[in-house]
Amino acid sequence: MVGGRCGTAAVKRKARSQGTRQHAKCGPRQRRYNKKIRVHTLHTSRNMSSQAASAISDTSLAPLAPLVSRLPRVGTTIFTVMSALAAEKGAVNLGQGFPDFDCDPLLLDAVNDAMRAGHNQYPPMAGILPLRQAVSDKVASLYGRRYDPLTEITITAGATQAILTVVLCCVHPGDEVIVIEPVYDSYVPAIELAGGKPVFVQMEVGSDGYSVPWDKVAAAVTPKTRLIMVNSPHNPTGSIFDADDIAQLTAIVRGTQILVMSDEVYEHMVYDEHRHESACRHPELAERAFVVSSFGKTYHVTGWKIGYVAAPAMLSAEFRRVHQFNVFTVNTPMQYGLATYMEDPAPYLDLAPFYAHKRDLFREGLSGTRFKLLPSRGTYFQCVDYSAISDMPEAEFCRWLTTEIGVAAIPISAFYDQPRESGIVRFCFAKKDQTLRTALERLSRL
Protein backbone atom coordinates (compact mmCIF):
# COMPACT_ATOMS: atom_id res chain seq x y z
CA MET A 1 0.00 0.00 0.00
CA VAL A 2 1.98 3.00 -1.22
CA GLY A 3 1.50 6.12 0.91
CA GLY A 4 -1.40 4.46 2.79
CA ARG A 5 -1.63 3.59 6.45
CA CYS A 6 0.61 0.55 6.14
CA GLY A 7 -2.25 -1.36 7.72
CA THR A 8 -2.26 -4.73 5.95
CA ALA A 9 -2.28 -7.82 8.14
CA ALA A 10 1.21 -8.77 6.94
CA VAL A 11 2.65 -5.36 7.76
CA LYS A 12 0.94 -5.37 11.14
CA ARG A 13 2.35 -8.80 11.94
CA LYS A 14 5.83 -7.69 10.93
CA ALA A 15 5.43 -4.48 12.93
CA ARG A 16 4.59 -6.46 16.02
CA SER A 17 7.75 -8.51 15.64
CA GLN A 18 10.00 -5.58 14.72
CA GLY A 19 8.73 -2.84 17.02
CA THR A 20 8.84 0.60 15.37
CA ARG A 21 11.10 -0.34 12.44
CA GLN A 22 7.98 -0.62 10.29
CA HIS A 23 7.83 3.18 9.97
CA ALA A 24 10.82 3.19 7.70
CA LYS A 25 8.54 1.65 5.08
CA CYS A 26 5.71 4.22 5.43
CA GLY A 27 5.01 7.13 3.11
CA PRO A 28 5.34 10.79 4.29
CA ARG A 29 1.64 11.13 5.12
CA GLN A 30 1.71 8.01 7.26
CA ARG A 31 4.91 9.18 8.99
CA ARG A 32 3.20 12.47 9.94
CA TYR A 33 0.21 10.47 11.28
CA ASN A 34 2.42 8.11 13.26
CA LYS A 35 4.33 11.05 14.73
CA LYS A 36 1.08 12.61 15.92
CA ILE A 37 0.15 9.33 17.62
CA ARG A 38 3.61 9.08 19.28
CA VAL A 39 3.34 12.63 20.61
CA HIS A 40 -0.18 11.95 21.90
CA THR A 41 0.94 8.72 23.59
CA LEU A 42 3.90 10.54 25.18
CA HIS A 43 1.63 13.24 26.60
CA THR A 44 -0.86 10.67 27.82
CA SER A 45 1.74 8.51 29.50
CA ARG A 46 3.37 11.52 31.20
CA ASN A 47 0.04 12.20 32.86
CA MET A 48 -0.40 8.70 34.25
CA SER A 49 1.56 6.14 36.15
CA SER A 50 4.00 4.05 34.16
CA GLN A 51 1.98 0.96 35.19
CA ALA A 52 -1.19 2.39 33.65
CA ALA A 53 0.67 3.47 30.53
CA SER A 54 2.13 0.01 30.04
CA ALA A 55 -1.32 -1.53 30.59
CA ILE A 56 -2.57 0.61 27.69
CA SER A 57 0.24 -0.43 25.43
CA ASP A 58 -0.27 -4.10 26.39
CA THR A 59 -3.96 -3.83 25.64
CA SER A 60 -3.23 -2.33 22.24
CA LEU A 61 -1.24 -5.45 21.39
CA ALA A 62 -3.77 -7.97 22.72
CA PRO A 63 -6.23 -9.33 20.15
CA LEU A 64 -9.89 -8.52 20.87
CA ALA A 65 -11.47 -11.44 22.73
CA PRO A 66 -14.68 -12.89 21.25
CA LEU A 67 -17.78 -11.35 22.82
CA VAL A 68 -19.53 -13.37 25.48
CA SER A 69 -22.98 -13.41 23.93
CA ARG A 70 -26.02 -12.24 25.89
CA LEU A 71 -28.04 -14.52 23.61
CA PRO A 72 -25.78 -17.49 22.91
CA ARG A 73 -28.60 -19.72 21.67
CA VAL A 74 -29.80 -17.35 18.98
CA GLY A 75 -28.70 -18.17 15.45
CA THR A 76 -30.09 -17.56 11.96
CA THR A 77 -33.84 -17.97 12.21
CA ILE A 78 -35.84 -20.42 10.13
CA PHE A 79 -37.72 -17.40 8.72
CA THR A 80 -34.53 -16.06 7.15
CA VAL A 81 -33.51 -19.51 5.95
CA MET A 82 -36.87 -20.27 4.33
CA SER A 83 -37.16 -16.84 2.72
CA ALA A 84 -33.67 -17.16 1.21
CA LEU A 85 -34.50 -20.65 -0.07
CA ALA A 86 -37.83 -19.44 -1.49
CA ALA A 87 -36.05 -16.63 -3.36
CA GLU A 88 -33.37 -19.01 -4.65
CA LYS A 89 -35.91 -21.58 -5.89
CA GLY A 90 -38.47 -19.08 -7.18
CA ALA A 91 -41.03 -20.49 -4.72
CA VAL A 92 -44.21 -18.68 -3.68
CA ASN A 93 -43.31 -17.41 -0.24
CA LEU A 94 -46.16 -18.21 2.13
CA GLY A 95 -43.63 -18.49 4.93
CA GLN A 96 -43.08 -14.86 5.74
CA GLY A 97 -45.77 -13.27 7.86
CA PHE A 98 -46.42 -10.07 5.98
CA PRO A 99 -48.57 -8.87 3.07
CA ASP A 100 -47.31 -8.87 -0.52
CA PHE A 101 -49.68 -5.97 -1.28
CA ASP A 102 -49.50 -2.30 -0.43
CA CYS A 103 -51.37 -0.21 2.10
CA ASP A 104 -54.19 2.24 1.47
CA PRO A 105 -52.89 5.24 -0.57
CA LEU A 106 -54.86 7.50 1.78
CA LEU A 107 -52.54 6.45 4.59
CA LEU A 108 -49.51 7.29 2.46
CA ASP A 109 -51.06 10.69 1.68
CA ALA A 110 -51.67 11.33 5.38
CA VAL A 111 -48.02 10.56 6.22
CA ASN A 112 -46.76 12.66 3.29
CA ASP A 113 -48.97 15.54 4.35
CA ALA A 114 -47.55 15.28 7.87
CA MET A 115 -43.99 15.46 6.52
CA ARG A 116 -44.79 18.45 4.33
CA ALA A 117 -46.53 20.15 7.23
CA GLY A 118 -43.20 20.04 9.06
CA HIS A 119 -43.85 17.21 11.49
CA ASN A 120 -40.30 16.01 11.21
CA GLN A 121 -38.69 16.61 14.61
CA TYR A 122 -38.77 14.59 17.83
CA PRO A 123 -42.29 13.97 19.07
CA PRO A 124 -43.15 13.68 22.79
CA MET A 125 -41.59 10.62 24.41
CA ALA A 126 -44.88 8.72 24.81
CA GLY A 127 -46.10 9.57 21.29
CA ILE A 128 -48.08 12.47 19.84
CA LEU A 129 -51.27 13.14 21.74
CA PRO A 130 -53.65 12.90 18.73
CA LEU A 131 -52.48 9.34 18.06
CA ARG A 132 -52.70 8.33 21.72
CA GLN A 133 -56.19 9.86 21.76
CA ALA A 134 -57.15 7.92 18.60
CA VAL A 135 -55.94 4.66 20.20
CA SER A 136 -57.81 5.45 23.40
CA ASP A 137 -61.02 6.11 21.40
CA LYS A 138 -60.63 2.91 19.41
CA VAL A 139 -60.03 0.74 22.45
CA ALA A 140 -62.95 2.37 24.29
CA SER A 141 -65.34 1.84 21.38
CA LEU A 142 -64.30 -1.77 20.72
CA TYR A 143 -63.57 -3.11 24.20
CA GLY A 144 -65.27 -0.69 26.56
CA ARG A 145 -62.26 0.38 28.61
CA ARG A 146 -61.15 4.01 28.48
CA TYR A 147 -57.35 4.36 28.79
CA ASP A 148 -56.14 7.86 29.62
CA PRO A 149 -54.10 8.98 26.60
CA LEU A 150 -51.89 11.10 28.83
CA THR A 151 -50.80 8.41 31.24
CA GLU A 152 -51.88 5.01 29.92
CA ILE A 153 -51.02 4.78 26.23
CA THR A 154 -47.51 4.78 24.79
CA ILE A 155 -46.59 4.66 21.11
CA THR A 156 -43.79 2.16 20.42
CA ALA A 157 -41.43 1.16 17.61
CA GLY A 158 -43.61 -1.80 16.68
CA ALA A 159 -44.85 -4.54 18.97
CA THR A 160 -41.37 -6.05 19.18
CA GLN A 161 -39.96 -3.04 21.02
CA ALA A 162 -43.09 -2.89 23.14
CA ILE A 163 -42.66 -6.53 24.20
CA LEU A 164 -38.96 -6.11 25.01
CA THR A 165 -39.71 -2.98 27.00
CA VAL A 166 -42.53 -4.65 28.95
CA VAL A 167 -40.16 -7.46 29.92
CA LEU A 168 -37.27 -5.13 30.77
CA CYS A 169 -39.45 -2.92 32.92
CA CYS A 170 -40.88 -5.63 35.13
CA VAL A 171 -38.64 -8.71 35.04
CA HIS A 172 -35.63 -8.72 37.36
CA PRO A 173 -32.78 -11.25 37.29
CA GLY A 174 -34.02 -14.56 38.63
CA ASP A 175 -37.73 -13.80 38.02
CA GLU A 176 -39.71 -16.45 36.18
CA VAL A 177 -41.83 -15.70 33.13
CA ILE A 178 -44.38 -18.17 31.80
CA VAL A 179 -44.51 -18.48 28.02
CA ILE A 180 -46.87 -20.68 26.10
CA GLU A 181 -45.48 -22.64 23.17
CA PRO A 182 -45.54 -22.46 20.22
CA VAL A 183 -44.34 -18.95 21.00
CA TYR A 184 -43.47 -15.86 18.96
CA ASP A 185 -39.72 -15.72 18.61
CA SER A 186 -38.97 -12.45 20.41
CA TYR A 187 -40.42 -13.41 23.82
CA VAL A 188 -37.71 -15.73 25.11
CA PRO A 189 -34.72 -13.56 24.06
CA ALA A 190 -36.43 -10.61 25.76
CA ILE A 191 -36.71 -12.62 29.00
CA GLU A 192 -33.10 -13.74 28.73
CA LEU A 193 -31.87 -10.18 28.14
CA ALA A 194 -33.65 -9.15 31.33
CA GLY A 195 -31.94 -11.97 33.26
CA GLY A 196 -35.28 -13.75 33.76
CA LYS A 197 -36.03 -17.42 33.42
CA PRO A 198 -38.55 -18.59 30.81
CA VAL A 199 -40.88 -21.32 32.04
CA PHE A 200 -42.50 -23.16 29.16
CA VAL A 201 -45.99 -24.58 28.92
CA GLN A 202 -47.05 -26.23 25.66
CA MET A 203 -50.39 -25.73 23.95
CA GLU A 204 -52.32 -28.89 23.20
CA VAL A 205 -53.52 -29.76 19.73
CA GLY A 206 -56.65 -31.77 19.04
CA SER A 207 -59.33 -32.05 16.38
CA ASP A 208 -60.49 -28.52 17.21
CA GLY A 209 -57.01 -27.06 16.86
CA TYR A 210 -54.66 -25.63 19.47
CA SER A 211 -55.66 -24.63 22.98
CA VAL A 212 -53.94 -23.53 26.18
CA PRO A 213 -54.01 -26.09 29.02
CA TRP A 214 -54.65 -23.59 31.81
CA ASP A 215 -54.22 -26.24 34.49
CA LYS A 216 -50.62 -26.64 33.33
CA VAL A 217 -50.12 -22.86 33.34
CA ALA A 218 -51.44 -22.78 36.91
CA ALA A 219 -49.08 -25.60 37.85
CA ALA A 220 -46.13 -23.68 36.41
CA VAL A 221 -46.69 -20.71 38.73
CA THR A 222 -44.19 -20.39 41.58
CA PRO A 223 -43.43 -17.58 44.07
CA LYS A 224 -40.88 -16.36 41.52
CA THR A 225 -43.39 -15.95 38.67
CA ARG A 226 -43.48 -12.28 37.67
CA LEU A 227 -45.10 -12.27 34.25
CA ILE A 228 -47.26 -14.44 31.99
CA MET A 229 -46.96 -13.70 28.27
CA VAL A 230 -50.02 -14.51 26.18
CA ASN A 231 -50.92 -13.95 22.55
CA SER A 232 -54.40 -13.95 21.03
CA PRO A 233 -55.11 -14.18 18.12
CA HIS A 234 -52.15 -16.48 18.13
CA ASN A 235 -49.16 -16.70 15.85
CA PRO A 236 -48.48 -19.34 14.55
CA THR A 237 -51.56 -21.45 15.35
CA GLY A 238 -54.39 -19.10 14.32
CA SER A 239 -56.21 -19.94 17.57
CA ILE A 240 -57.99 -17.32 19.66
CA PHE A 241 -58.93 -16.95 23.31
CA ASP A 242 -62.58 -17.26 24.23
CA ALA A 243 -64.20 -15.94 27.41
CA ASP A 244 -63.32 -19.15 29.24
CA ASP A 245 -59.61 -18.71 28.46
CA ILE A 246 -59.74 -15.22 29.89
CA ALA A 247 -61.60 -16.43 32.97
CA GLN A 248 -58.99 -19.10 33.60
CA LEU A 249 -56.06 -16.74 33.09
CA THR A 250 -57.70 -14.23 35.42
CA ALA A 251 -58.22 -16.88 38.08
CA ILE A 252 -54.52 -17.85 37.90
CA VAL A 253 -53.25 -14.31 38.51
CA ARG A 254 -55.94 -13.28 41.01
CA GLY A 255 -54.46 -12.31 44.38
CA THR A 256 -50.84 -12.57 43.11
CA GLN A 257 -48.23 -10.05 42.01
CA ILE A 258 -48.11 -11.63 38.55
CA LEU A 259 -48.41 -9.26 35.59
CA VAL A 260 -49.67 -10.13 32.11
CA MET A 261 -48.30 -9.16 28.72
CA SER A 262 -51.16 -9.58 26.26
CA ASP A 263 -49.87 -9.54 22.68
CA GLU A 264 -52.85 -8.55 20.54
CA VAL A 265 -51.16 -7.54 17.30
CA TYR A 266 -53.77 -9.49 15.29
CA GLU A 267 -56.69 -8.01 17.24
CA HIS A 268 -58.61 -7.00 14.10
CA MET A 269 -58.26 -10.39 12.41
CA VAL A 270 -60.86 -12.53 14.17
CA TYR A 271 -63.26 -14.44 11.94
CA ASP A 272 -66.71 -15.95 11.75
CA GLU A 273 -68.95 -15.54 14.75
CA HIS A 274 -66.06 -14.99 17.19
CA ARG A 275 -65.04 -11.75 18.85
CA HIS A 276 -61.62 -10.64 20.01
CA GLU A 277 -61.29 -11.23 23.74
CA SER A 278 -58.94 -8.36 24.43
CA ALA A 279 -57.53 -8.16 27.94
CA CYS A 280 -58.90 -4.59 27.83
CA ARG A 281 -62.45 -5.97 27.93
CA HIS A 282 -61.93 -7.68 31.24
CA PRO A 283 -61.43 -5.17 34.07
CA GLU A 284 -59.79 -7.52 36.52
CA LEU A 285 -57.22 -8.67 33.95
CA ALA A 286 -56.75 -5.20 32.45
CA GLU A 287 -55.64 -3.90 35.88
CA ARG A 288 -52.43 -5.94 35.61
CA ALA A 289 -52.01 -6.17 31.83
CA PHE A 290 -49.75 -4.52 29.31
CA VAL A 291 -51.79 -4.77 26.10
CA VAL A 292 -49.60 -4.64 22.99
CA SER A 293 -50.74 -3.96 19.43
CA SER A 294 -49.18 -3.13 16.07
CA PHE A 295 -50.27 -0.65 13.41
CA GLY A 296 -48.04 -2.61 11.04
CA LYS A 297 -50.39 -5.61 11.11
CA THR A 298 -53.61 -3.61 11.03
CA TYR A 299 -52.73 -1.27 8.17
CA HIS A 300 -50.49 -3.51 6.00
CA VAL A 301 -47.36 -1.53 6.88
CA THR A 302 -45.21 -4.01 8.79
CA GLY A 303 -42.08 -2.17 7.65
CA TRP A 304 -43.08 1.00 9.48
CA LYS A 305 -42.50 -0.65 12.87
CA ILE A 306 -45.01 1.25 14.90
CA GLY A 307 -47.35 0.00 17.60
CA TYR A 308 -48.58 0.84 21.07
CA VAL A 309 -48.95 -0.35 24.63
CA ALA A 310 -52.04 0.30 26.74
CA ALA A 311 -51.63 -0.27 30.46
CA PRO A 312 -52.87 1.24 33.73
CA ALA A 313 -51.00 4.39 34.78
CA MET A 314 -48.75 2.70 37.34
CA LEU A 315 -47.58 0.09 34.83
CA SER A 316 -47.31 2.64 32.02
CA ALA A 317 -45.11 4.89 34.18
CA GLU A 318 -42.59 2.10 34.66
CA PHE A 319 -42.88 1.11 31.00
CA ARG A 320 -42.04 4.67 29.96
CA ARG A 321 -38.97 4.81 32.20
CA VAL A 322 -37.43 2.04 30.13
CA HIS A 323 -38.98 3.17 26.86
CA GLN A 324 -37.36 6.59 27.08
CA PHE A 325 -33.88 5.07 27.04
CA ASN A 326 -34.79 2.25 24.70
CA VAL A 327 -36.02 4.29 21.73
CA PHE A 328 -37.07 7.55 23.45
CA THR A 329 -39.51 8.38 20.63
CA VAL A 330 -41.06 6.88 17.54
CA ASN A 331 -40.96 8.60 14.16
CA THR A 332 -43.17 11.66 14.01
CA PRO A 333 -44.75 11.81 10.53
CA MET A 334 -46.01 8.22 10.72
CA GLN A 335 -47.67 9.10 14.02
CA TYR A 336 -49.44 12.14 12.56
CA GLY A 337 -50.40 10.19 9.45
CA LEU A 338 -51.86 7.35 11.49
CA ALA A 339 -53.73 9.73 13.79
CA THR A 340 -55.46 11.32 10.78
CA TYR A 341 -56.13 7.97 9.11
CA MET A 342 -57.65 6.51 12.29
CA GLU A 343 -60.42 9.11 12.22
CA ASP A 344 -62.14 6.60 9.95
CA PRO A 345 -62.68 3.27 11.77
CA ALA A 346 -63.62 1.45 8.53
CA PRO A 347 -60.09 0.20 7.69
CA TYR A 348 -59.74 -1.73 10.97
CA LEU A 349 -63.39 -2.75 11.09
CA ASP A 350 -63.18 -4.10 7.52
CA LEU A 351 -59.98 -6.02 8.14
CA ALA A 352 -61.66 -9.21 9.36
CA PRO A 353 -63.87 -9.68 6.26
CA PHE A 354 -60.91 -8.73 4.05
CA TYR A 355 -58.74 -11.50 5.50
CA ALA A 356 -61.62 -13.96 5.98
CA HIS A 357 -62.02 -13.90 2.19
CA LYS A 358 -58.35 -14.81 1.73
CA ARG A 359 -58.52 -17.48 4.41
CA ASP A 360 -61.58 -19.05 2.74
CA LEU A 361 -59.98 -18.91 -0.70
CA PHE A 362 -56.89 -20.64 0.65
CA ARG A 363 -58.76 -23.26 2.68
CA GLU A 364 -61.07 -24.03 -0.21
CA GLY A 365 -58.06 -24.53 -2.49
CA LEU A 366 -56.40 -26.89 0.00
CA SER A 367 -59.54 -28.91 0.63
CA GLY A 368 -58.78 -31.24 -2.29
CA THR A 369 -55.28 -32.05 -1.01
CA ARG A 370 -54.10 -34.47 1.66
CA PHE A 371 -53.28 -31.60 4.02
CA LYS A 372 -55.48 -31.65 7.09
CA LEU A 373 -56.60 -28.11 7.83
CA LEU A 374 -56.56 -26.88 11.39
CA PRO A 375 -59.02 -24.12 12.32
CA SER A 376 -57.84 -20.58 11.57
CA ARG A 377 -60.06 -18.41 13.77
CA GLY A 378 -57.75 -15.43 13.80
CA THR A 379 -54.46 -13.99 12.42
CA TYR A 380 -53.43 -14.43 8.79
CA PHE A 381 -52.02 -17.90 9.33
CA GLN A 382 -53.29 -21.29 8.33
CA CYS A 383 -51.76 -24.37 9.97
CA VAL A 384 -51.92 -27.73 8.22
CA ASP A 385 -51.13 -31.26 9.33
CA TYR A 386 -49.12 -32.94 6.56
CA SER A 387 -48.81 -36.38 8.16
CA ALA A 388 -50.86 -37.99 5.35
CA ILE A 389 -48.31 -36.70 2.83
CA SER A 390 -44.96 -37.28 4.50
CA ASP A 391 -43.26 -38.38 7.70
CA MET A 392 -40.36 -35.97 7.26
CA PRO A 393 -39.55 -33.69 10.22
CA GLU A 394 -41.19 -30.28 9.83
CA ALA A 395 -38.11 -28.25 8.83
CA GLU A 396 -37.13 -30.86 6.24
CA PHE A 397 -40.68 -30.99 4.91
CA CYS A 398 -40.66 -27.19 4.53
CA ARG A 399 -37.38 -27.33 2.61
CA TRP A 400 -38.79 -30.09 0.39
CA LEU A 401 -42.03 -28.16 -0.16
CA THR A 402 -40.08 -25.05 -1.15
CA THR A 403 -37.63 -26.84 -3.41
CA GLU A 404 -39.83 -29.49 -5.04
CA ILE A 405 -43.34 -28.01 -4.95
CA GLY A 406 -42.42 -24.33 -5.09
CA VAL A 407 -44.26 -23.05 -2.00
CA ALA A 408 -42.54 -21.96 1.21
CA ALA A 409 -44.02 -22.59 4.66
CA ILE A 410 -42.72 -22.39 8.24
CA PRO A 411 -42.32 -25.41 10.54
CA ILE A 412 -44.20 -25.10 13.84
CA SER A 413 -41.19 -26.72 15.52
CA ALA A 414 -39.38 -23.37 15.02
CA PHE A 415 -41.64 -21.88 17.70
CA TYR A 416 -40.45 -24.23 20.47
CA ASP A 417 -37.49 -24.01 22.80
CA GLN A 418 -36.77 -27.73 22.66
CA PRO A 419 -37.15 -29.64 19.39
CA ARG A 420 -40.72 -30.86 19.07
CA GLU A 421 -42.27 -32.46 16.00
CA SER A 422 -46.01 -32.43 15.43
CA GLY A 423 -46.19 -32.78 11.64
CA ILE A 424 -47.71 -29.30 11.28
CA VAL A 425 -46.56 -26.31 9.23
CA ARG A 426 -47.79 -22.72 8.91
CA PHE A 427 -48.81 -20.90 5.75
CA CYS A 428 -49.38 -17.14 5.64
CA PHE A 429 -52.39 -16.05 3.57
CA ALA A 430 -51.72 -12.29 3.77
CA LYS A 431 -51.06 -12.37 0.03
CA LYS A 432 -52.72 -11.14 -3.15
CA ASP A 433 -55.45 -13.53 -4.31
CA GLN A 434 -53.33 -14.23 -7.39
CA THR A 435 -50.35 -15.22 -5.21
CA LEU A 436 -52.59 -17.58 -3.25
CA ARG A 437 -53.97 -19.10 -6.48
CA THR A 438 -50.47 -19.73 -7.82
CA ALA A 439 -49.52 -21.41 -4.54
CA LEU A 440 -52.71 -23.49 -4.58
CA GLU A 441 -52.07 -24.66 -8.14
CA ARG A 442 -48.71 -26.02 -6.98
CA LEU A 443 -50.04 -27.49 -3.74
CA SER A 444 -52.93 -29.19 -5.52
CA ARG A 445 -50.47 -31.94 -6.54
CA LEU A 446 -50.27 -33.11 -2.94
Ligand X SMILES: Cc1ncc(COP(=O)(O)O)c(C=O)c1O
Residues 6+ apart with CB under 8 A from 142: 276, 278
Point out the residue whose Cβ comes nearest to ligand X: 158
CA triplet 191, 269, 381: central angle to 5 degrees? 70
Nearest CB to ligand X, comparing residues 409 and 443: 409
Q: Return the CA Rg of the chain.
A: 27
Using DSSP bridges, classify how beta strands 225-231 and 92-93 pair: parallel, antiparallel or unpaired. Answer: unpaired
Nearest CB to ligand X, comparing residues 174 and 303: 303
Q: Which of 135, 190, 185, 136 is nearest to 162 (CA)?
A: 190
Supply the minimum distance, in Å, between the C-beta of residue 143 and ligand X. Answer: 18
Nearest CB to ligand X, comparing residues 159 and 443: 159
Supply the minimum distance, in Å, between the C-beta of residue 159 and ligand X. Answer: 3
Nearest CB to ligand X, comparing residues 157 and 443: 157
Nearest CB to ligand X, comparing residues 231 and 250: 231
Nearest CB to ligand X, comparing residues 128 and 306: 306
Between the alpha carbon of residue 217 and those of residues 244, 248, 288, the distances in Å are 14, 10, 17
Angle (deg, nearest 10), helices 28-46 and 50-61: 140
Supply the minimum distance, in Å, between the C-beta of residue 262 and ligand X. Answer: 11
Supply the minimum distance, in Å, between the C-beta of residue 368 and ligand X. Answer: 29
Q: How many angstroms separate the first and last alpha carbons of the chain? A: 60
Sequence-separated contacts (24+) of 300-305 with Cβ below 8 Å: 300/99, 300/101, 300/102, 300/103, 300/104, 300/430, 301/103, 301/107, 302/98, 302/99, 303/98, 304/158, 304/334, 305/157, 305/158, 305/160, 305/161
Interaction site with ligand X (CB under 6 A): 97, 158-160, 184, 231, 235, 263, 265, 294, 296, 302, 305, 307
Supply the minimum distance, in Å, between the C-beta of residue 97 and ligand X. Answer: 5
The counts of H helices and E strands in the chain are 18, 15
CB atoms within 10 A of CB 29: 11
Supply the minimum distance, in Å, between the C-beta of residue 266 and ligand X. Answer: 7
Nearest CB to ligand X, comparing residues 298 and 340: 298
Supply the minimum distance, in Å, between the C-beta of residue 395 and ligand X. Answer: 19
